[in-house]
Amino acid sequence: MDTGVILWTAAALLALVVAIGLAWRCAALPCPSWLIPLLENPYFEAVAGAERLLGRAGIGPGMQVLDAGCGPGRLTLPAADRVGPAGAVVALDIQPRMLAELERRRKRLGAGNVETIQAGLGEGRLPSARFDRAFLVAVLGEVPDRPAALREIRRSLKPGGILSITEVLPDPHYQRLSKLRSLAGRVGFREVGVFRGLLAYTANFERADGPAEPPDPNLRS
């Protein structure tokens, strides 16, 4: 085949992939379950592997952990192993198929300390003041109402509890750290640590005391 035709076809395919990625990003749609194999690949493992993320959040025995937007349980099941029988992991996801796959894996491993909730973040289904740690890994950009999602997670944490957010490139829903900091600060989180890599970062936020979204100082009462 003519080299020009090959180059034009490759450019058209690339443009199509970029266009689909941008449309998907704008629509804030959840990652479909048939993309699970794309989530669990050596690249994702290298830049945002479960054991590394659990270590960054300081997960240990006896902890109560929330895995929000858990997908098929890439992080949930290793977390359940770390917290042990004295702890528990609550895995929340909006998609029943993700939770069905998690449940299949959970049974195979015999993990008895995992609970699941099928709900969208921000719908108010999480318990109050239960968790020592919460994870949001490659999820936030898929959530349509991000302030509501972070407010709900904040409410579900114990005072002093930590929310650990990881964003990975080239996820079409990737959230920049500067944007995340501003949003987290507005809903009542205090940054306590950042782990930066070339292709991914983790930012840890503590549930700060006081009300979420303190009143705007420019507004007079």
Considering the complex, state which of residue 12 and residue 46 has its C-beta at the smaller distance from ligand SAM: 46
Considering the complex, state which of residue 12 and residue 23 has its C-beta at the smaller distance from ligand SAM: 23
Rg (CA), the chain: 19
Which residue type is seen at 115? E
Looking at 88, 111, 126, 139, which residue binds ligand SAM (CB under 6 A)? 139
Q: Is 75 in the site for ligand SAM (CB under 6 A)?
A: yes
Residues 68/92, Cβ–Cβ less than 8 Å: yes
The separation between CA 47 and the C-alpha centre of its own chain, rounded to angstroms, equals 14
Which listed range, 3-11, 55-63, 90-98, 196-204, lies at the site for ligand SAM (CB under 6 A)? 90-98
Q: Is 116 in the site for ligand SAM (CB under 6 A)?
A: no
Cα–Cα distance list, 54 to 67, 99, 135 (Å) = 11, 20, 9
Q: Is 30 in the site for ligand SAM (CB under 6 A)?
A: yes
Sign of CA dihedral 146, 161, 94, 24: positive
Helix (H) or strand (E) holding 193: strand 189-196
Q: What are phi and psi of 201, to 5 degrees?
A: -140, 160
Looking at 66, 91, 143, 180, which residue binds ligand SAM (CB under 6 A)? 143
Residues 87/63, Cβ–Cβ less than 8 Å: yes
Least separation in angstroms between residue 166's CB and ligand SAM is 7
Joined together, the tokens standing for residue 201 give: 């970062």
Per-residue x/- track, 32-71, ligand SAM (CB under 6 A): -------x-----------------------------xxx
* Residues that contact ligand SAM, how many (by CB under 6 A): 20
Residues 157/207, Cβ–Cβ less than 8 Å: yes
Q: Is 152 in the site for ligand SAM (CB under 6 A)?
A: no
Could you list the residues that contact ligand SAM (CB under 6 A)? 30-31, 39, 69-71, 74-75, 92-95, 98, 120-121, 137-139, 142-143
